[in-house]
Amino acid sequence: MKPIIGITTSSERKTEGTRTGTIRLDWNYAEAVERAGAAPILLPPNADPADVLPLVDGLLVPGGDDIDPHLWGERRHEKTSLIDPARFESDCAYVRQAPDGLPILGICYGCQLLNVVGGGTLHQHVPDVVGHGEHSGGTLQTYEVVAGTLLHRILGDSAEGRSYHHQAIRSVAEGFLVAARHEDGTIEAIESQRHPFRLGIQWHPERTLGSPTSDGLFRAFVEQAALYRAQKA
C-alpha cells in the first residue's frame, strides 16, 4: 500500500465562525504527492490532529498567506495579508502534535510556519531587506544548498525553483539550521536537527513538477514517509 500524505488546507468563509464555506487546496500539491508515489488526503482545519495524525505517513503544509507578526512582537506591515486564523491554528497544532519520526514538508508559508512554531522570526516584507521584489514574482531562481544538510543529500550543491513570497525567515528557530540561501542572502530552506525529516522550502516545488529539484524533493519526502509507514507496522 502506498504511503499516505496528509495535506493541510485553506478555508474560505464569508464570515468567521459560520458553518458555510469551502476548504481549498491547489491541485499541484496533490499531483506532486501522487507523482512521487504516495496517496494524498486533504486535512480540513476543523479536523482534530489527534485523530488524523495516526492515519498519515507524512504531513505536507502548503503555501498560504502571511503569518501575523504579533507572534514575534512586531506590528503588521502595510503589505501583510494574514492567513486564515482557523488554518493557522490547525497547522500549528498538526506540527506541534506530530510524532518525532513523522516526515513533514513545509512549502513557502509552511516553511515559515515551521520556523515560527519553533520560536523563530520572519522578515515581514523582503523587498525592504534586499531592495528588490524578485522573490514574489515567480521568476526561476537558483539557490545554494548548504553542504552537510539533509537537503544537500537530496539535491546536491544547488536547487532551482520559483518563489512567490514576500515574507522570509529572519532568525532561525532553535533546533533548525539553514539548508539553502539565495545569492542575496535570503534564507530559502531550513531543516530540523532533531527530526529525521522536517524540512521547510521557501520556494514552490509544486510549480515546477518534472524538474530535478522538484522531483528529487517530493521523491525523498515520499521515500521517508514509506519508511515511517514500515516502522509503524
**Single pTM value for the model:** 0.93
CA atoms within 13 A on the CB side of 76: 9
| Helix, strand, coil percentages, rounded to 5, for the chain | 35, 25, 40
Whether 213 contacts 134, CB under 8 Å: no
Check residue 77 and give its pLDDT.
Answer: 67
Residue whose entry in the numeric block shows the C-alpha cell 524540512: 199
The continuous run of DSSP H or E covering 117 comes out as helix 109-117
- 73 or 141, which is more confident? 141
pLDDT score for 175: 97
Instruction: Identify the burial level of 186 via C-beta atoms within 10 angstroms of its C-beta, where 0-12 means exposed, 13-18 middle and 19 or more buried.
Output: buried
Give the other-Cβ count within 10 Å of 180's Cβ. 25
The CA distance from 114 to 112, in Å, is: 5
In contact, 77 and 56? CB cutoff 8 Å: no
Which DSSP string do the residues of 16-62 spell out, in sequence order?
A: TT-S--EEE--HHHHHHHHHTT-EEEEE-TTS-HHHHGGG-SEEEE-
Active site residues: 108, 204, 206
pLDDT in tens, 58-71: 999 999 888 888 88
> 4-232 has which CATH code?
3.40.50.880
Pick from 133-142, 198-207, 215-224: least confident: 133-142
> What is the per-residue pLDDT for 66?
82
Among 207, 224, 212, CA closest to 32: 207
Q: Give the confidence band of 78 by pLDDT, cuts at 50, 70, 90.
A: low
- So what's the pLDDT on residue 15? 62
What is the pLDDT, as a whole number, of residue 17? 60
**Cell, residue 139:** 521568476
pLDDT per residue as tens digits for the range 166-216: 788 989 999 999 999 998 888 999 999 999 999 999 999 999 999 999 999
The domain ranges of the chain are 4-232
Residues 124 and 195: their CA atoms lie apart, in Å, by: 27
What pLDDT, on the 0 to 100 scale, is given for residue 131? 44
